[in-house]
Amino acid sequence: MVSTSREQFGSKLGFILAAAGSAVGIGNLVGFPVNAAKNGGAAFLILYAIFVFAICVPVMMAELAAGRASQRGPFGCYRHFADAKPWWHIGGLLAVITPFMIAVFYLVLTVWIFGYLAAIVSGNLSAMSDASFFGDFINGKILFLYVVFVAAFVGVTLHFGVQKGIERGAKIMMPTLFFMLIALVVFILFQEGAGAGVKYYLIPDFSKLTTEVVNGAMSQAFFSLSLGMGIMITYGSYMDKRESIPGSARLVALADTTVAFTAGLLVLPAIFAFNPNTNPDDLSSSSVSLIFTFLPKIFLAMQAAIGYFGASLVAALFFLLVLFAALTSLISIIEVPVCAAMDQFCITRNKALLVVGIAIIITSLACVVSFGMVPFFTEFTQYGGGVKSFFDLVIDVFYDTILPLNGALICIFVVYQWKKHNLDSELEQGDPEYKSSIMERYINFALGTFIPAILVLVFINTV
C-alpha cells in the first residue's frame, strides 16, 4: 500500500536545483578536473561530454520516467511494474542497498570535509601540510562529534520533506555553491602562472585515450550524474506530471557538466600557479588523497602571495564549496532508502528517517573506525593482493562495481518489462514535442540496445 498524497517538488526550478544538487558532488569538484588533466585534457572532456549526453541523459530520463509513472521509489517501482516476476525485485533491492552503502562512505567523506573546514577556520591550515596530519585526523575521536553534526543537518533537512527540506536546501546551497566556485575561479585565474594550468587542461591529447581511460570517463560520467543509485527514480516520483522529463534531464546534465568543467579551471590553474613543479601525470587519481593531502599544501603555498589569513580564507571557501556539494548529494542519496521505507511499510517520514538514519550512522561508524581504530574493520577482508578496510570494501563494491550494473538493469527493465510505449507516453507528458521526435527514436533504440551493453561491459571490466 502506498500513501495517496505523495509529496512533490514545488517548482521546476526546485526540481532542477535538487537534482543538480545531487549530481554536483565531490566527483565534479575534484575527481573530474584531475581525471581530465591526467587523461588528455580537452580530449577527455569531449569524450566525457559525449558519454553524458548520449548515454547518461537517456538513462536519467528512464529513471525519472519510471519513478514518476510508478509514483514510488526504486524498490516499489520494480515491484509495481513486475509484481509477478520476483527476479525483478532483486533489481529493486539492489537499487536500495546500493544508495544505502554509498551513503555510508559518502557520509564519512562529508564528515572529513567538515572536519577540515573546522580545522582551517580554527587557524590550522599550516598543520595540514605535515605528512602525518591526515592519518592522525582520520583516527581522531572528534570525528564522532562531526558525524553527529553532519547527520543532524541531513536528518533535519529530510525531516522537513521534499519541498520544505530537500528543495529549500538546494535553493540555498546550490546558488551559493555556484557563486563561491566562480569567485574562486576568478581569483585563481588572476594569479601568476595560472595560464599554464589552463593550457594543460584545455589542450587535447588524443593519444592518452586508452581503453582504461574510456572506461574511466564512462564511470565518472555515470557516477557524476547520480545514476544507478535510485536517486533519479525517487526524485522522478516527486516530479509534477506537467514538467518535461527530457528537458529537465538535459538541464541537470548541463549544470553538472558545467560545474565539473569550471572546477577544472579552479583546481589545475591553482596547482600550476602555486606548485609549478607539479607534473599533472604524477597526481594521484584518488580524490581522497587530492582533497585531504595535496590541495591543503597548494592552499598553504598561497600565503607567499596573499598572506596566511588570505590563504586560509581561500582554503575555507574551497572546503565550504565541497561541503555544500557533498551535503546536497548526501541528502539525495539518503532520501532513497527513506522513501523506500515509507512506500514499503507505509510509515511516516519521521519513522523511516529514524530507522534508516540509525542504520546508516552505525554502518558509517564501522567505516570511521576502519583506519586503525578497530583492527577488525581495518583488516576487514583480503582481495586483489592486499588487505582491505571496511571503507575500501564499500567503495570497491558499491561505487566502483555495482553502479553500472544497476544502470544496465534499469534500462532493460524499462524497455523490456515496463515496455517502450509506456516509457514514451510518460516522457510525452509535459513535453508534447517529444512525441515522434528524433530524440524519442534514439532513446528507444539506445536504451534497449547499446547503452545496457556498454554498462555491462564497464561492469565486467571493473570486476
Which residues contact ligand PFF by CB under 6 A? 22-23, 25-28, 102-103, 106, 223-224, 226, 329-330, 332-333
Which position's Cβ is nearest ligand PFF? 25
Q: Are 40 and 337 in contact (CB under 8 A)?
A: no
Nearer to ligand PFF, 27 or 264 (CB): 27
In the complex, minimum distance from the CB of residue 219 to ligand PFF, in angstroms, rounded to a whole number: 11
Residue 386, φ and ψ in degrees, nearest 5: -155, 165
CB atoms closer than 10 angstroms to residue 47: 22
Q: Could you give the CA distance from residue 109 to residue 380 in angstroms, rounded to a whole number?
A: 19
Give the residue with the Cβ less far from ligand PFF, 259 or 365: 259
- Of 396 and 424, nearer to ligand PFF (C-beta) is 396
Long-range contacts of 455-459 (CB under 8 A, 24+ apart): 455/59, 455/222, 455/404, 455/405, 455/407, 455/408, 455/411, 456/404, 456/405, 456/408, 458/215, 458/218, 458/219, 458/222, 458/404, 459/401, 459/404, 459/405, 459/408
* CA distances for 360 relative to 17, 240, 390, angstroms: 25, 30, 14
Type of residue found at 161: G
* Residue 27 C-beta: closest distance to ligand PFF, Å: 3
Nearest approach, Cβ of residue 62 and ligand PFF (Å): 18
**Cβ nearer to ligand PFF, comparing 251 with 373:** 251
Closest distance to ligand PFF from the beta carbon of 132 (Å) = 28
208 vs 286: CA distance, rounded Å: 19
Give the nearest distance from C-beta 3 to ligand PFF in angstroms: 25
Nearest to ligand PFF of 95, 311 (CB atom)? 95
How near is the Cβ of 226 to ligand PFF at its closest, in Å? 4
- Whichever of 234 and 389 has its CB closer to ligand PFF, that residue is 234
Residue 91: closest CA among 396, 344, 414, 346:
414
